[in-house]
Amino acid sequence: MRCDARILQLLFPSVLFTTTAAGIHLTFDDGPHPTATPAVLNILRERNIQATFFFLGQNVQQYPDIARQVATEGHDIGNHSYSHTNLLFKDEAFIQKEIIQTEEILESNLGKRTRYFRPPYGYFNLTILNVLKEIGSTCVLWNIDSKDYRSKRQSDMERRVVPHTSNGSIFLFHDNKDTAQKLHTYLPFILDILLGKNFIFKPLQS
Ligand SMILES: [Zn+2]
């Protein structure tokens, strides 16, 4: 998995699979969500951890106050498309609309543009990368998938995440309907293990 990420990073230097920045990087996809996102914020605030949230344009339209709260608490915001459609086989006009419309929604609600885009399901192609280049954005994937949408046991999550963590790791988590009810069972547990190992959490911008 980590080796694959390194090869892909060589093939697509404009795509971040891991970073060279010191620290480890938590990312949360699919929000803002009315219960999951505030729950994640509480867990992060209690631990003084900063993360990056990849928002969907349609969810920002629905929950603009939650989006603003995330930004107010110092977390970085990225673009995760408008509707979470798989963009892989869509034409350029559709891809542009999904990305640029979301940028406009984020800018009008948060007062600033994003620098990062995470494609739905992690699927990207050269058309997507070209659109991102035009707007000065970088495609960001991950190298540690928590599989939080399907994990139930803390031990499974620990085994999936902790042994693979090193500086530059980018973790994929979700604040959506699939994790809203259970994130309190694994997220504080995993974060406390990593804090106990003296890893420093940073948003991607740092
Ligand atoms: Zn997603």
Per-residue model confidence as pLDDT tens digits over 40-49:
999 999 999 9
Domain ranges of the chain: 2-196
**CA nearest neighbour of 135 among 185, 172, 86, 101:** 101
Query: Would you call 151 helix, strand, or coil by DSSP?
Result: coil
User: Which pLDDT score, from 0 to 100, does residue 70 have?
Assistant: 98
Q: Point out which residues pair with 193 in neighbouring strands.
A: none
pLDDT above 90 as % of the chain: 83
Copy the structure tokens of residue 9.
């990073």
Contact criterion met (CB below 8 Å) for 54 and 80? yes
pLDDT of residue 2 exceeding 70: no
Cβ neighbours of residue 59 closer than 8 Å, sequence gap 6 or more? 30, 31, 32, 33, 67
- What is the C-alpha to C-alpha distance for residues 174 and 164, in angstroms, rounded to an integer? 19
User: Which pLDDT score, from 0 to 100, does residue 15 have?
Assistant: 85
Per-residue model confidence as pLDDT tens digits over 94-121:
999 999 999 999 999 999 899 999 999 9
User: Which pLDDT score, from 0 to 100, does residue 4 have?
Assistant: 66
| Cα 203 to ligand 1 centroid, rounded to whole Å | 18
| Cα 29 to ligand 1 centroid, rounded to whole Å | 5
| Cα 30 to ligand 1 centroid, rounded to whole Å | 5
| Cα 128 to ligand 1 centroid, rounded to whole Å | 16
Active site residues: 29, 174
Per-residue model confidence as pLDDT tens digits over 37-81:
999 999 999 999 999 999 999 999 999 999 999 999 999 999 999
- Mean predicted lDDT score pLDDT of the chain: 93
User: Which pLDDT score, from 0 to 100, does residue 3 have?
Assistant: 53
User: Which pLDDT score, from 0 to 100, does residue 152 have?
Assistant: 72
User: Which pLDDT score, from 0 to 100, does residue 17 have?
Assistant: 85
pLDDT of residue 1 exceeding 50: no
More confident residue, 67 or 153: 67
Task: Determine the length of the chain.
Answer: 206
Cβ neighbours of residue 77 closer than 8 Å, sequence gap 6 or more? 52, 53, 54, 55, 67, 70, 71, 106, 110, 114
Model confidence band, residue 140 (pLDDT cutoffs 50, 70, 90): very high
Query: Can you name the CATH fold of 2-196?
Result: TIM Barrel (3.20.20)
Model confidence band, residue 13 (pLDDT cutoffs 50, 70, 90): confident
| Cα 166 to ligand 1 centroid, rounded to whole Å | 24
pTM: 0.94
| Cα 23 to ligand 1 centroid, rounded to whole Å | 23
